[in-house]
């Protein structure tokens, strides 16, 4: 076991661009907590602190595809610091935040790091990846590889024919309204979300397709919303089948390179070699903020329209009722009736976008638990509102501050 841990530390140190001998004692202690199993939902807080910055270097998880960046980074100039009516340091401590970036009108007005994390590091996204995956559906429609979100899923995923997904459309996958039964309980080791990535695939089938094709129906397609990570993985398979490209390759081609992400990112692979589309993009927090700007700009990158006109207006509007006042679900985006929307991942990862205020908030954390029994999610919502209030108090942008370059 000691040999494995030292090997893992060395791998992470190399991934971070430093030698193990140069690490200080705190860094060595952190990396010594790297987990030795794949069951992310049941790692300790200390194991997650170590692993969330190094998922693509863990020997038990390290099969990845690279999302290559381009040569010229989209500029994120400093703006006038935003005066927020809250103790940001205390907020970050309570959230166990590793990175927090607030971008207003294209300029960085707040940027802080914690847990020993830095701007050069990459943090795992968890379900923030869902919103990136859904964007690739829009890109594939723009490219003509997918005809319509009204198409049946089985038109693109042959292995689902004869299953409960026969009556499900691409759009119903995007909105998680398939009506197929699924358990997303992160505390239950027997839930679908805990088991499906460990499933032994049938010969010739992607592991997700092999698992999902056996699930029963619990409601007519289109009538019931249930959050299902497995269905985002199906969306990823669908995009790859339609385009003939890996998700990492396609995301690099359509967004990462032309928009100007600063660092390569990585995407973890499942047991049959396909990206885990509902999870696990390792990226710099600044590049996640840039993705928010790409979305807020309507999907333009490198002077080209990546998704159809109006895609993000539909994707970030309430398409499904989730039973929460003032909120809903779009195409793998969480929506607010105010017009704001967000990508969210367990343990506190997020991109919050408020187009009316030209506001993007990108953050990464390691909450004590996967979701919100301790109120950390509600606290993050309060922080979003505090930032919005600070923006409103400041008033319209100061025109002589300069502008970030448009893309």
Each domain of the chain, given as residue ranges in start order, spans 2-62, 88-125+246-251+263-269+279-401, 140-238
d(CA 20, CA 14) in angstroms, rounded, equals: 8
Sorting pLDDT into bands at 50, 70 and 90, what band is 57? Answer: confident
Pairwise pLDDT comparison (229 vs 193), residue with the higher score: 229
Report whether 370 contacts 186 (CB < 8 A). yes
Question: Rounded to 5 degrees, what angle do the CA atoms 115, 116, 122 make?
Answer: 90
d(CA 250, CA 324) in angstroms, rounded, equals: 34
Report whether 40 contacts 49 (CB < 8 A). no
pLDDT digit string, tens, across residues 263-313: 999 999 988 899 999 999 999 999 999 999 999 999 999 999 999 999 999
d(CA 154, CA 167) in angstroms, rounded, equals: 9
Q: Hey, how many other C-beta atoms are within 10 angstroms of the C-beta on 73?
A: 15
pLDDT digit string, tens, across residues 212-259: 999 999 999 999 999 999 999 999 999 999 999 999 999 999 999 999
pLDDT digit string, tens, across residues 134-172: 999 999 999 999 999 999 999 999 999 999 999 999 999
C-alpha distances out from residue 284 to 18, 117, 220, Å = 17, 10, 40
Pairwise pLDDT comparison (25 vs 160), residue with the higher score: 160
| Fold agreement (88-125+246-251+263-269+279-401, 140-238) | no
* SS3 annotation, 1-30: CHHHHHHHHHHHHHHCCCCHHHCCHHHHHH
DSSP structural state of residue 213:
T
pLDDT above 80: residue 26:
no
Average pLDDT, the chain: 89
DSSP 102-170: EEETTEEEEEEE-TT--TT--EE-TTHHHHHHHHHHHHHHHTTSS--TTSBGGGT-GGGTTSGGGG-BH
3-class SS at 191? coil
Sorting pLDDT into bands at 50, 70 and 90, what band is 203? Answer: confident
pLDDT of residue 406: 41
d(CA 346, CA 11) in angstroms, rounded, equals: 25
| Fold of the domain built from segment(s) 88-125+246-251+263-269+279-401 | Beta-lactamase (3.40.710)
pLDDT digit string, tens, across residues 342-363: 999 999 999 999 999 999 999 9
d(CA 194, CA 187) in angstroms, rounded, equals: 9
pLDDT of residue 407: 52
Sorting pLDDT into bands at 50, 70 and 90, what band is 320? Answer: very high
Adjacent-strand bridge partners of 300: 305
**Domain 140-238 falls under CATH 1.20.58.710:** yes
d(CA 330, CA 131) in angstroms, rounded, equals: 10
Q: Is 72 exposed, middle or buried (0-12, 13-18, 19+ CB in 10 A)?
A: exposed
pLDDT above 70: residue 18:
no
């Amino acid at each position: 076991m000691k040999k494995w841990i030292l090997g893992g530390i060395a791998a992470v140190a190399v991934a971070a661009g430093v030698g193990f001998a140069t690490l200080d004692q705190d860094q060595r202690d952190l990396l010594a907590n790297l987990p030795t199993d794949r069951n992310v939902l049941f790692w300790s807080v200390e194991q997650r602190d170590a692993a969330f910055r190094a998922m693509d270097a863990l020997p038990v998880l390290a099969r990845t595809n690279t999302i290559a960046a381009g040569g010229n980074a989209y500029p994120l100039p400093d703006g006038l610091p935003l005066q927020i009516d809250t103790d940001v340091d205390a907020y970050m401590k309570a959230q166990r935040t590793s990175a927090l970036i607030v971008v207003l009108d294209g300029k960085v007005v707040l940027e802080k790091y914690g847990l020993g994390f830095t701007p050069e590091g990459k943090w795992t996204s968890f379900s923030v990846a869902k919103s990136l995956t859904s964007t690739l559906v829009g890109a594939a429609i723009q490219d003509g590889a997918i005809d319509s979100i009204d198409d049946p899923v089985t038109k693109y995923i042959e292995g689902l024919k004869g299953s409960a997904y026969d009556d499900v459309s691409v759009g119903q996958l995007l909105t998680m309204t398939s009506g197929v039964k699924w358990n997303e309980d992160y505390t239950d080791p027997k839930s679908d979300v805990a088991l499906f990535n460990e499933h032994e695939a049938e010969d010739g089938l992607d592991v997700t397709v092999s698992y999902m094709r056996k699930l029963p129906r619990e409601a007519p397609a289109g009538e019931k919303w249930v959050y299902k990570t497995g269905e985002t993985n199906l969306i990823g398979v669908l995009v790859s089948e339609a385009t003939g490209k890996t998700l990492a390759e396609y995301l690099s081609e359509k967004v990462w390179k032309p928009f100007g992400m600063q660092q390569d990112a990585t995407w973890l692979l499942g047991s049959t070699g396909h990206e885990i589309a509902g999870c696990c993009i390792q990226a710099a927090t600044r590049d996640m903020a840039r993705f928010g700007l790409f979305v807020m700009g309507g999907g333009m990158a490198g002077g080209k329209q990546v998704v159809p006109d109006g895609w993000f207006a539909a994707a970030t509007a309430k398409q499904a009722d989730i039973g929460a006042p003032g909120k809903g679900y779009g195409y793998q985006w969480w929506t607010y009736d105010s017009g704001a929307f967000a990508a969210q991942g367990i343990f506190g990862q997020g991109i919050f976008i408020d187009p009316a205020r030209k506001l993007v908030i990108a953050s990464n954390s390691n909450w004590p638990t996967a979701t919100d029994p301790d109120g950390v999610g509600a606290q993050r919502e309060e922080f979003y509102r505090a930032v919005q209030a600070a923006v409103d108090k400041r008033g319209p942008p100061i025109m002589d501050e300069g502008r970030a370059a448009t893309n």
